[in-house]
């Protein structure tokens, strides 16, 4: 367990460590560098997870289950928001289903906590969480409820104050699993550009989750998320131009905004945006963040602006590095890039602290509604 400096969470929980590079957003991965540093400091759980290269430490692809870390949330009574596997990816291809089962069992046993699971392997996340009965296995929901929860309880015997884990906790964990998706587990995907958003967000939306979110960090190019938000292009036929307008008019009927277009439609609840920081950081055009901010406002989704990163707009007072925003046109079915570029905004390399968190003078700390069982 570690207190987190990440603005959108409280604690990091790493029952699994290790990863591998899968897309451009991984190039300057902070976890990759941190794993190498922790190994040098003598933390054996990180031994062999990275290798040196000309560009610095790089993941080897080896994955490791950290048994002593697995049950940490069970020992914390205070309701806490946990970022799951900040040093890995829960749905990495090298992680066996059995490890994922155990992580979900612990989350089911801790309904007082909120768990944020972020992945770049959205297809595997969808496949795992929608798995039906197969072979001699139950569907994933019943497997976690009746097999994995019992296994966790039988293998560990910590206490929560005076309350034994094998007493009331057993029924509490089983009850949590009867609600599906788990109401305290939020699922998200990383998307650094439009290609990765188009690849990963549809799988996220097709996965059962109490809250669905996108982390657009590091934001390396413009992303149009409107087709994944309310109203969905071509589906919404009502008279209202935004979620806020429909809600004010009483069109929401007390239900989630999905009810406005049909129970089969799902949408993003939350978007986190951040520029890249650290050595070799790539610049983020401020308009890329503004586009997402405005889309969230129109859709009623929470928006969190984490940072500009190492680069910040110079607003015309000196020049250092230009970043151009492609002009995109909506054809009615898709966005096209016509080869032209919008205003070339100059940005300067000033470092994360100097660049700050203000977007057009405003600090955005949007957070989705916490839903506990």
Q: What is the pLDDT of residue 311?
A: 86
Q: What is the pLDDT of residue 312?
A: 83
Tell me the mean pLDDT in the region 308-312: 89
Least confident of 48-52, 62-66, 98-102, 314-318: 314-318
Least confident of 92-96, 112-116, 164-168, 208-212: 164-168
CA distance 333 to 203: 20
* CB 17 within 8 Å of CB 67: no
Q: When comparing pLDDT for 85 and 253, which is higher?
A: 85
CA distance 153 to 170: 7
End-to-end CA distance of the chain: 24
Question: Domain extents for the chain?
Answer: 2-18+63-177, 196-229+267-363
Tell me the mean pLDDT in the region 150-160: 62
Q: What is the pLDDT of residue 235?
A: 40
Using the predicted structure, report yes or no on whether residue 329 has a pLDDT greater than 70. no
Q: When comparing pLDDT for 154 and 97, which is higher?
A: 97
273 Cβ contact partners less than 8 Å away, ≥ 6 residues apart: 216, 217, 219, 288, 289, 292, 293, 303, 304, 305, 306
pLDDT above 70: percentage of residues in the chain: 73
Q: What is the pTM of this model?
A: 0.83
pLDDT by residue (tens digit) across 179-208? Answer: 788 999 999 999 999 999 999 999 999 999
């Amino acid at each position: 367990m570690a207190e987190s400096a990440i603005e959108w969470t409280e604690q990091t929980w790493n029952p699994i460590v290790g990863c591998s590079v899968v897309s451009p957003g991984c190039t300057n991965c902070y976890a990759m560098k941190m794993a190498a540093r922790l190994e040098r400091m003598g933390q054996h759980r990180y031994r062999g997870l990275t290798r040196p290269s000309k560009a610095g430490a790089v993941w080897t692809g080896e994955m490791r289950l950290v048994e002593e870390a697995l049950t940490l949330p069970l020992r914390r009574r205070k309701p806490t928001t946990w970022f799951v596997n900040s040093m890995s990816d829960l749905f990495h291809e090298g992680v066996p289903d059995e490890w994922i089962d155990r992580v979900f069992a612990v989350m089911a046993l801790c309904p007082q906590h909120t768990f944020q699971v972020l992945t770049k392997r959205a297809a595997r996340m969808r496949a795992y969480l929608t798995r039906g009965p197969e072979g001699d296995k139950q569907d994933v929901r019943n497997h976690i409820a009746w097999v994995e929860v019992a296994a966790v309880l039988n293998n560990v015997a910590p206490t929560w104050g005076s309350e034994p884990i094998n007493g009331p906790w057993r029924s509490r964990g089983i009850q949590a699993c009867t609600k599906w998706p788990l109401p305290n587990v939020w699922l998200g995907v990383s998307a650094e550009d439009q290609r990765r958003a188009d690849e990963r967000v549809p799988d996220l939306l097709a996965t059962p989750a109490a809250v669905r979110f996108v982390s657009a960090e590091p934001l390396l190019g413009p992303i149009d998320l409107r087709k994944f938000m309310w109203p969905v292009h071509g589906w919404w036929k009502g008279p209202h131009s935004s979620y806020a307008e429909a809600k004010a008019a009483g069109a929401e009927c007390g239900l989630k905004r999905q009810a406005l277009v049909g129970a089969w439609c799902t949408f993003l609840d939350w978007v986190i945006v951040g520029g890249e920081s650290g050595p070799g950081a790539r610049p983020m055009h401020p308009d890329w963040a503004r586009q997402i901010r405005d889309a969230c406002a129109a859709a009623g989704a929470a928006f969190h602006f984490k940072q500009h990163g190492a680069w910040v707009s110079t607003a015309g007072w000196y020049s250092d590095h230009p970043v151009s925003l492609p002009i995109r046109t909506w054809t009615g079915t898709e966005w096209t890039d016509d080869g032209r570029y919008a205003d070339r905004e100059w940005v300067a390399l000033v470092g994360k602290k100097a660049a700050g968190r203000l977007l057009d003078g405003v600090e955005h700390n949007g957070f989705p509604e916490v839903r506990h069982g």
